[in-house]
Amino acid sequence: MSYERTIWEKIADNLRSRSMWMLHYCTGCGAVELPPSMTSRFDMERLGMGPMATPRQADIFLITGYLSVKTLRRVIYTYEQMPDPKYVVGFGSCTINGGIYYDSYATINRVDYYIPVDLYIAGCMPRPEAIFEAFTELMRMIRKGEAIGWKKYKENYEWYKQNQLKSLGEVYVHDEFHE
């Protein structure tokens, strides 16, 4: 699936692929592979990528590991707070099919039902080499205009919302930070 882009959108997509600020949602074990990717050995910053503190500033959203029912609500909140050309990367097998936690009572097996994932990285956990392979692929997809999860989420909002409600009951978070 591909969309027509104007020349300005093509230029903007080129810029977006060269400057990806990431927000990492470190629920599972996957976060442990990010520090070596960011620091001296592999040096993520040479691709223009860097960690950002809040969802408002971020472009790509890393879901590093399995999601439980409780954390999925936070993930949906965070995803909807990000500004619009936004890309989701699923880290590791857990985001694809539940990984080794597939038969747990509280684990979300397929993240793709709830928010649109642009790219998965298979592995348990993926090594930094695999992460870089994925990021260069994501850069290519953004340049070609193939990373369109954010448009899909807008067009199929009812479908995603229905899946979210089916699994979670309600999406609202009830704790001291959100009320």
Partner 1 sequence: MTIFKVAAVLLTGFFVGLTLEGIARKIIARVQRRYGPPWYQNFIDVFKALSKHGFSHGWIFDFGVLMALGGVIATLSFVPLGNLVAFPGLDNVFVVLYLFAVGALGMAMGMVGSGNPNASIGVARALTQMLGYEVPYLVSLAAIIFYYKTSSISNLMNLQADSWNLFKMPIGAAVAFISLMGMLGKKPFDTPIAPAEIASGPMVELSSKYMGLLMLMHTFSIFVEISLFVDIFLGGGSYLVFLLKFTVVWIIATLISAVLPRFRIEQVVKFYWRVPLGLAFLQAFFVLIGWVF
Binding site for partner 1 (CB under 8 A): 12, 15-16, 18-19, 39-40, 43, 45-48, 51-54, 56-57, 59, 82-85
Q: Are 63 and 95 in contact (CB under 8 A)?
A: yes
d(CA 76, CA 162): 13
Smallest gap from residue 152 Cβ to partner 1 (A):
16
Only one residue has tokens 């503190």, namely 53
Smallest gap from residue 128 Cβ to partner 1 (A):
14
Q: Are 113 and 163 in contact (CB under 8 A)?
A: yes
d(CA 16, CA 10): 10
Q: Are 136 and 94 in contact (CB under 8 A)?
A: no
> Please, which residue, 59 or 111, has the CB nearer to partner 1?
59
> Please, which residue, 49 or 111, has the CB nearer to partner 1?
49
> Please, which residue, 52 or 122, has the CB nearer to partner 1?
52
Smallest gap from residue 177 Cβ to partner 1 (A):
10
> Please, which residue, 85 or 123, has the CB nearer to partner 1?
85
Smallest gap from residue 88 Cβ to partner 1 (A):
16
Task: Give the type of residue at 33.
Answer: E
